[in-house]
Chains A and B, each alone.
Chain A
Amino acid sequence: MNLRTIAFNSLNRQKGKRSFVLVAMALGCATVISLFSFINSQKKAIESQFDEYGANIIILPKSDNLGLSYGGVDISGVMANQKEIRLQDVERIWQIPNKNNIRAVSPKLFGASRVENNGFQSEVLLIGIYFQEELRIKPWWEIEGTLPSGNRDIVVGSDVADKLQINPGDSLTLDGTVLNVSGVLLPTGSQDDSIVFGDFDMVSSFLGKEGSVSMAEVSALCSDCPIEQITAQLEAILPDANIKQIRQVMQQKMQTIDQFERFAFTVTSVLIAIGAVLIFTSMMGSVSERKQEIGIFRALGFKKIHVVSIILTESFVLSFIAGLTGTAAGYLISYLALPSLLDVESKAIAVSPVLAGVSLPVVVLLGLGAGVYPALKAARIDPVTAINSL
């Protein structure tokens, strides 16, 4: 028999009333965990969509440019006072402080070229790229045939292939040079369909622009990506370049999620307040019901601190069980119910480990906090009045 035993026995005696408080608190805890799991899952899905979307930073040489655009960004058609970006400048991108946020960098070299095939002649845009980097930025690219493996291999866009009636394995003459079409880019619905792509180094030498870069695309998209910071860092290391951010629709979606997250924090605050009031009311009721019992404790020589200790132990046990079951229930709801609600696989559900780690201590602190006043009130009970009221 010690003070803990008294607290446990008292809780056991009032199982019914305390169960109600416990269930209510556990539900609140489970709701918060499920809510944030939902938000985290949505964020994760958007992050994934971001990754699939492609580049979000374009690096261009500084110039007074007119005309031609690519991907909604102006590419100098007629260039005046144009600065030059060199390939070694692009490689320095991997040295910026936020290099870990950069997923891919794809330098490009542009040139116009005259194409001939089956008696058809036309001017086409020839772009040199590093195919592996480009595919990281454009994972949606599908190529019929193979990627270029030799220094005379090229990939043509679907419109070019249609107009020139080219299939993978055919030859194509560019500015009088016969090249091998290793693959045809399946329709993308973008300007890429009208372009001829070759290996960056091959195109550099073909165009006589070794080491030069027309533009570079950078994929640094992720939900917590400090995009403004990265842009500033790129501007610092590439003073002759014009750094442009592509504003994506996804960012709008992320803003919506952020708003929902703020709403979730509000709901959490309300649930915390309700939980605190529940424990407070329950403990106040308990103290009031047990006034005589506490009077007996005091008459038998329990100090005020002993009474406070009993009441706070009860609050602690109650909130600890509620926090534990609530966290477990939150996990179960997140992994069992959310996948069907969101129509995703359970592995797509992201329960924040921080939330899981924090929820139990928060609920316990809440319980203890809400138990302080009732405990102090219990300690102030006058034993003579309490005993005489029996």
Chain B
Amino acid sequence: MLMQIKELEKTYGSGEARVRALRGVSFTIDKQDFVAIYGPSGSGKTTLLTTIAGLNRPTNGEAIVDGISIYRDLNSEGLAQFRNEYIGFVFQSFHLIPYLSAQENVMLPLAPQKIPAAEKRKLALQALERVNIPEKARSLPGELSGGQLQRVAIARAIVNKPPLILADEPTGNLDSQTRDEVLSLLESIRKNGHTIIMVTHDPENIKLARRTIGIQDGLLN
């Protein structure tokens, strides 16, 4: 088991504006699993993802990764290091830095690490090869198609070999053909030893998932 989520609760605001985004969510995730968290907009799935990622401190409950209760055992800087070492992010809007080349974007998670520059470049190129666009290494994000942008984002997510890849609507901005390519890519990444948790509201996306967790109004179905 890679991750255990125990009675996670997250409440935003107070008084009449109080919103319970998560209401006691519990589940476990095994290593090399491909889990789709499926639910409509506003169901709490992105809150769940950011909480799992160590970005969003829960109101109650625990997220235990590799035996570490990340919110109990780690402070803010510890959580940053946890994200850097354990988590690879793939966002719907790619979130690439526009003034950095594809290779430099892929190198970003390595930037705070004390690795020789040549080694960082090599790792980034290897990651771009794994997502089949090494020839775009020097291209800026503005010069790439949607599918290529998401491939660069996936390369960035896997460059430092984190055990857990979190994908938030990774195909939301892609056409159906590119969507299938990206999903296949995520599956191939899983086979290489990563665990994938994908948040989606699109039923087409859950085809390749090995497990689906439904969520609505902050509760698991």
Contact = CB atoms under 8 A, between A and B. Distances in A.
Interface stretch (B34-42, B50-58, B62-70, B195-203): B50-58
B77 A304 contact: yes
B19 interface: no
A2 B104 contact: no
Interface stretch (A6-14, A151-159, A258-266, A329-337): A6-14
Interface in B82-133: 82-85, 87, 89, 91, 93, 95, 97-100, 104, 107-112, 117, 120-121, 124
A384 interface: yes
A9 B99 contact: yes
A278 B36 CA distance: 49
Contact of A9 (B93, B100, B112): B100
Contact of B84 (A300, A383, A388): A300
Given A3-B111, A303-B112, A12 B99 contact: yes
A198 to B, nearest CB: 84
A2 B81 CA distance: 16
Given A1-B104, A9-B104, A383-B55, A303 B80 contact: yes
Interface in B118-150: 120-121, 124
Contacts of A298: 55, 80
B97 A293 contact: yes
* Secondary structure class of chain B's binding surface, majority of residues: helix
A176 to B, nearest CB: 100
Given A1-B107, A3-B111, A301-B81, A296 B55 contact: no
B117 A384 contact: no
Contacts of A390: 91, 93, 95
Nearest to B157: A300
A344 interface: no
B165 to A, nearest CB: 13
Interface in A267-316: 292-293, 296-306
A309 to B, nearest CB: 9
Nearest to B115: A2
B184 interface: no
Contacts of A388: 46
A387 interface: yes
A49 interface: no
Contacts of B104: 1, 5, 9
Contacts of B98: 13
A83 B23 CA distance: 107
Contacts of A305: 77
B83 A301 contact: yes
Contact of B55 (A5, A292, A297, A299): A299
A384 B85 contact: no
B97 A296 contact: yes
B176 interface: no
B95 A302 contact: no
Contacts of B77: 303-305
Interface string A355-372: 000000000000000000
Contacts of B53: 299
Nearest to A309: B112
Contact of B80 (A2, A9, A302): A302
18 contacts: A1-B104, A1-B107, A1-B111, A2-B117, A5-B104, A6-B100, A6-B108, A9-B99, A292-B95, A296-B95, A296-B108, A300-B84, A300-B156, A301-B84, A302-B84, A303-B77, A304-B76, A384-B55
